[in-house]
Amino acid sequence: MAQPKLEKALKLMGQRGLNGLIIYSNGVCNILRPSYLLYFSGFKSMGPRNAAILSKSGEVALLVDPPWDALRASQNSWIKDVEGGKDFVKDLIAILRRLKISGPVGVVGSREMTQDVYSGIQKETPIEIADDIIEEIAKEKTAEEIEIVRKTARIADVGSGAFVNSVRVGIREYELVAELEYAMRSAGADDIFILMGSGSHNNEMHEPTDRRLREGDIVIGEITPVYKGQFIQLCPTVVIGKPTPVLVEKYKILIHALEESLNQMKAGVPASIITITMNRIFSEAGYAKYCNPPYMRSRGHGFGVGSIAPGGEITDKMQANLEKHQVVAVHPNQYIPETGYLVCGETVLVTDVGIERLTRMETKLYPV
Mean pLDDT of 282-291: 97
- Model confidence at 311: pLDDT above 80: no
pTM of the model: 0.92
- Model confidence at 324: pLDDT above 50: yes
Any residues with CB less than 8 A from the CB of 259 and at least 6 apart, and which? none
- Residue 3 pLDDT class (50, 70, 90 cuts): confident
pLDDT of residue 310: 76
Could you tell me what percent of the chain has a pLDDT over 90?
Answer: 90
Cβ atoms of 323 and 139 closer than 8 Å: yes
- Model confidence at 2: pLDDT above 80: no
Torsion of CA 255, 258, 261, 266, to 10 degrees: -130
- Model confidence at 28: pLDDT above 90: no
pLDDT of residue 133: 95
pLDDT digits (tens, 9 = 90+) for 196-220: 999 999 999 999 999 999 999 999 9
pLDDT of residue 304: 87
Could you tell me what percent of the chain has a pLDDT over 70?
Answer: 99
- Model confidence at 12: pLDDT above 60: yes
Cβ atoms of 347 and 302 closer than 8 Å: no
pLDDT digits (tens, 9 = 90+) for 138-159: 988 889 999 999 999 999 999 9
pLDDT of residue 33: 81
- Residue 30 pLDDT class (50, 70, 90 cuts): confident
Any residues with CB less than 8 A from the CB of 132 and at least 6 apart, and which? none
Tell me the residue type at 115. Answer: Q
pLDDT of residue 321: 95
Any residues with CB less than 8 A from the CB of 138 and at least 6 apart, and which? 39, 304, 305, 306
Cβ atoms of 227 and 264 closer than 8 Å: no
pLDDT of residue 73: 95
pLDDT digits (tens, 9 = 90+) for 36-81: 999 999 999 989 999 999 999 999 999 999 999 999 999 999 999 9
Closest CA to 328 of 149, 188, 162: 149
pLDDT digits (tens, 9 = 90+) for 221-256: 999 999 999 999 999 999 999 999 999 999 999 999
Distance CA 332, CA 257 (A): 6
Beta bridge partners of 226: 191, 231
Cβ atoms of 177 and 205 closer than 8 Å: no
The conformational region for residue 363 under phi > 0 = left, psi -120 to 50 = alpha, else beta, is beta
pLDDT digits (tens, 9 = 90+) for 105-122: 999 999 999 999 999 999
CATH superfamily of 143-367: Creatinase/methionine aminopeptidase superfamily (3.90.230.10)
pLDDT of residue 192: 95
Domain boundaries, the chain: 2-138, 143-367
Domain 2-138: give its CATH architecture.
3-Layer(aba) Sandwich (3.40)
pLDDT of residue 66: 93
Tell me the residue type at 42. Answer: G
pLDDT digits (tens, 9 = 90+) for 160-183: 999 999 999 999 999 999 999 999
pLDDT of residue 360: 95
Asked whether the domain spanning 143-367 has the same topology as the one spanning 2-138, the reply is: no
Distance CA 185, CA 192 (A): 8
- Residue 1 pLDDT class (50, 70, 90 cuts): very low
Beta bridge partners of 195: 222
User: For all residues of the chain together, what is the average pLDDT?
Assistant: 95
